[in-house]
Amino acid sequence: MRSPLAAAVAVALAALVPATAQAQTLTSSPNLKHVTNVKYDLRYAQTKSYGTDIEFAEIRGKQYALAGSYVNGLQIMDLSDPASPVKVGVYDCGITQGDVQVFKRQGKTYITYTADSTPTAARAKSACYEEATALGFKPRMADGRGLQGTFIADISDPTAPKTVSFVPVALGSHNQTVHPSGDFLYNSNSELITNIGGSAIEVFDIRDFSAPKLVTTFPLIKVPGLGNDSHDITFNEDGTRAYSAALSHEEIINTEDPAKPTRISTITDPTINVFHQSDPITIGGREFLVIEDEFAGAVGTNQCPNGGVHFYDITDETNPKKVGYWNVDQVRPTATADRSCTAHVFRLHDEQDLMTIAFYNGGVAVVDLKGVAGVSVGDDQLVQAGAKQLAFGHFPNSNAWSAKTPEIQKDGDFFLYANDIDRGLDVFEYDAQAGKSKATGRWMTAGEAAVSLPRASTTALKDYQMFCLLNGQS
């Protein structure tokens, strides 16, 4: 999710900015209203909730939200009343980055939880480290600091999560993704710049929780930029393909044998500053890959918008073709100079051709993707083609990391859950029958994007700020 560089800058700047009150006025479209906010218990001297990614799990007939955080642990919330989450448990694990994934095996529900930095000796006394040690793992160094890697926990009883395994990774687990089989873990260590030349995806066999083992490292290509390590990986539903957003490029990978991945194709795009997340979706019988650009690693730029979302036709996956680009049409300064307004963690819903996405200070958005099917590989497109924003919402102090929903009802309504760095968990209600957003965002064809967007270079930040001032959005 957020890069280590961006996190360090944000922490430094945040110390200079007064805390903003939780109760603030929501700016939103008529079809999105704020329902409630849940704050997290602060641990190990944390001063804010620092929400990161969020996932969901159905356990014993009940829906739960699993909200990761920096240092404060995994927040487990009962969604029996989806408008009013009730915190029923916390997986005490004083780590960063807290990326969470869910998988099931033999009737039990498990999560993976990532450590991408070296926890202090104090934080390495949290329950996850104590439990891993009791299982025979050695998750701490001689000086008491915690090792980096991925914890695996059993959350079949959401009120009492319990560590069952630990996968140490020398360069850390910035993100990780469990293969749909539940048997293999693909690690994304997301090392910036320093790991160019050694960038790879580590693949672990986790069938035996007591002895996870590295089965292969999949080398990634070298491309000039911020680095070439995998930042995030998404599998297709049957696990035969993986899509790796690898900072400076994209890789489409054959995972029919998950222990022996092979490269199918790569994407380089000078208008994408940071390949941060990429997910596949079928729209109108065509296969697309949606790639999100976390511009400048989410370093505060004091303006909206920054990085957006790029669309590639991968019907021929050996030859991906760009078809367009979408971004929010908020043209404004951010609430404070340390805030970013770049696209971040999203979720796609194939059946509804819908995307929910977080934009840090830009809040959350609901985007209709049906029109993407009307865009050709060239610059010709049908009238009204492209992605269009249906709803949006943001507070002055929004800092939304991820925005997802576990379920969309038949009438199109749903509850949207935003895991926010400063605010904790925000719950929004989307009403598909209410008035849609008049601001639909800015869609560009591939050709328009190539001309209008900056090159992914050291001058990109300055170029993009000028683009925002001169662009027709205003």
Structural domain spans, the chain: 4-14+26-470
Do 175 and 134 contact (CB within 8 A), yes or no? no
Q: What is the pLDDT of residue 22?
A: 44
Reported as type and span, the H/E element at residue 13 is: helix 4-14
Q: Would you call 68 helix, strand, or coil by DSSP?
A: strand
Q: What is the pLDDT of residue 297?
A: 86
Query: Side by side, which strands form the sheet with 414-420?
Result: 32-38, 424-430, 414-420, 400-404
The distance from CA 451 to its chain's CA centroid, rounded to whole angstroms, is 28
pTM to 2 decimal places: 0.91
Domain 4-14+26-470 has CATH 2.130.10.10: yes
**What is the mean pLDDT for each group of 10 consecutive residues in the chain (474 residues)?**
40 35 80 98 95 98 98 98 98 97 97 97 98 98 98 98 97 96 96 73 98 97 88 97 97 98 97 96 96 91 92 97 95 91 97 98 98 79 83 97 98 98 98 97 92 63 43 35
Q: What is the pLDDT of residue 40?
A: 97
Closest CA to 286 of 377, 358, 208: 377
378-411 as b/e: b if 16+ CB within 10 A: eeebeeebbbbbbbbbbbbbbbbbbbbbbebeee
Q: Would you call 104 helix, strand, or coil by DSSP?
A: strand
Rounded Cα distance, 165 and 176, in Å = 15
Strand partners, 253: 242, 263
